[in-house]
């Protein structure tokens, strides 16, 4: 049951298209996945029925009954399950390798991981989420997708605006909203909806956008998006922002699948396969680029050097950052971290303790190969046993990169004809090995 006030507003908003909009709620929900360019070095043939998402080269619709989230390649980071219309904002931000990019409202990570794929491991991707609980989920998805150049933080947008004035080449604001495009997916979105909440969201969006504007360098691109239909949170928010910020102009692009509006674009669920989205693309024409202090790196410990030699690991350009006993490899432009709530300052290499260096799960997912590799077939009992945390037979000795169909998925340690399982306990699939 959709809210009565929502239906009244949508009828006034859509006019003769309103019956088509209502009928869209009767069709099965469109579901999609997006391939991860960081993991398609040996592109496997996916065992799912896929159809291309027209507005995203790496996006595909799939049959919901096939449940790709249960396939081992999901845990290997080969793809991210994402609602198809939600793929549009990151596509339109279009970051380039080597740029400084900010995803300001990043959880759970769909758009951040999409941006990372476009950046090809080069430059700096800052992924921020205000909610601490959601920031942890964001960090986990950054890890799963094998991303090495992301700084994951848990901050307010005003604090970030103070730290990073005029610094980013591109900023994505996928703003918290009233979630009208989530009505079919989440009953809670219907229960929480009200016109008062729409107005509250619009006020919050204005504040977030003002802070985002401060952080964008001149010539940079800002993309604003929501998964809601209300004009108050979309066109009206954008028009008010442009009035407050004459240093910004809207960019009009050739987007044949979307509906052009007074400002921005609509992805209507009755006009394409998706739950709906709003997106606007802006450029900052004036301002000043600021210099930001960067974090000082240090030398990696000898124990890491031994492990890297043992496994034949070569790291990209960057710098070493210790967090207690845990070591990270960060992009050169990693900003000074003091005073920031940091969850992940780059690629986690592992932990130095008790005279040993234990490689991190994140490192395994980033690697494409290693000196010692044990490959498992995606539909085999062995991969099910590995994901459940069981020991496997294997002749490899020492740290061994476990792969599934050629894609890295975790670590094991070989000795005496057996591979001791080092798949993280929190990720293990209990009871699925038999």
Q: What is the pLDDT, as a whole number, of residue 431?
A: 58
> Residue 58 belongs to what H/E stretch?
none
Beta bridge partners of 327: 322, 350
Annotated catalytic residue, options 105, 127, 201, 227: 227
Residue 43: pLDDT above 70? no
List the structure tokens of 281.
């693309």
Phi/psi at 100 (5° precision):
-100, 120
Q: What is the pLDDT, as a whole number, of residue 432?
A: 52
Tell me, yes or no, if 227 is annotated catalytic. Answer: yes
List the structure tokens of 264.
């921005």
Contact 304, 349 (CB under 8 A): yes
**Confidence band of 310 (pLDDT split at 50, 70, 90):** very high
| Secondary structure of 249-302 in HEC code, one letter for each residue | EECCCCCCCCEECCCCEEECCCCCCCCCEEEEEEEECCCCCCCCCECCCECCCH
Compute how many other C-beta atoms are within 10 angstroms of the C-beta atom of residue 391: 12
Q: What is the pLDDT, as a whole number, of residue 433?
A: 47
pTM: 0.96
Q: What is the pLDDT, as a whole number, of residue 434?
A: 39
Residue 169's Cα: distance from chain center in Å? 18
Share of the chain above pLDDT 70, in %: 99
Q: What is the mean pLDDT of the chain?
A: 96
Phi/psi at 51 (5° precision):
-135, 135
- Tell me which residue has tokens 């693309």: 281
Which pLDDT tens digit goes with each residue over 129-157?
999 999 999 999 999 999 999 999 999 99
Which pLDDT tens digit goes with each residue over 328-337?
999 999 999 9
Q: What is the pLDDT, as a whole number, of residue 45?
A: 86
Mean pLDDT of all residues in 12-28 = 95
């Amino acid at each position: 049951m959709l809210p009565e006030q929502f239906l009244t507003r949508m009828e006034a908003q859509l006019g003769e298209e309103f019956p088509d909009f209502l009928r869209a709620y009767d069709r099965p929900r469109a579901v999609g996945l997006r391939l991860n360019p960081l993991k398609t070095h040996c592109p496997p043939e996916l065992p799912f029925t896929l159809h291309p998402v027209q507005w995203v080269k790496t996006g595909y619709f799939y049959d919901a009954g096939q449940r790709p989230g249960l396939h081992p390649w999901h845990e290997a980071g080969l793809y991210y399950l994402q609602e198809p219309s939600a793929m549009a904002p990151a596509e339109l931000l279009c970051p380039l390798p080597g740029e400084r990019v900010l995803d300001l409202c990043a959880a759970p990570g769909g758009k951040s991981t999409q941006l990372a794929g476009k950046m090809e491991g080069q430059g700096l991707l800052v992924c921020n989420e205000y909610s601490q609980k959601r920031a942890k989920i964001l960090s986990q998805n950054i890890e799963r997708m094998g991303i090495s150049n992301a700084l994951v933080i848990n901050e307010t947008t005003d604090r970030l605006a103070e730290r990073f004035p005029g610094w980013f080449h591109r900023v994505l604001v996928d703003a918290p909203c009233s979630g009208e495009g989530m009505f079919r997916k989440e009953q809670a979105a219907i229960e929480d909806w009200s016109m008062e909440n729409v107005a509250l969201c619009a006020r919050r969006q204005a504040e977030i956008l003002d802070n985002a504007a401060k952080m964008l360098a001149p010539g940079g691109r800002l993309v604003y998006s929501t998964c809601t239909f209300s004009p108050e949170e979309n066109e009206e928010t954008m028009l008010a922002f442009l009035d407050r910020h004459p240093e910004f102009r809207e960019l009009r692009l050739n987007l044949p699948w979307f509906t052009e509006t007074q400002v921005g674009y609509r992805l209507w669920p009755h006009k394409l396969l998706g739950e709906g989205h709003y997106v606007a693309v802006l450029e900052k024409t004036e301002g000043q680029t600021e210099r930001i202090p960067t974090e000082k790196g240090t030398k990696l410990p000898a124990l890491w050097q031994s492990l890297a030699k043992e496994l034949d690991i070569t790291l990209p350009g960057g710098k070493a950052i210790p967090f207690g006993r845990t070591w990270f490899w960060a992009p050169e432009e990693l900003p000074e971290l003091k005073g920031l709530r940091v969850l992940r300052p780059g690629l986690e290499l592992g932990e130095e303790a008790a005279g040993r260096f234990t490689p991190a799960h994140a490192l395994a997912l980033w690697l494409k190969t290693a000196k010692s590799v044990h490959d498992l077939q995606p539909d085999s009992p062995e991969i099910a046993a590995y994901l459940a945390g069981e020991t496997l037979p294997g002749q490899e000795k020492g740290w061994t990169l476990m792969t599934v169909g050629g894609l890295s998925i975790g670590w094991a340690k070989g000795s005496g004809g057996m591979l001791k399982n080092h798949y993280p306990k929190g990720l293990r699939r209990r009871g699925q090995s038999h």
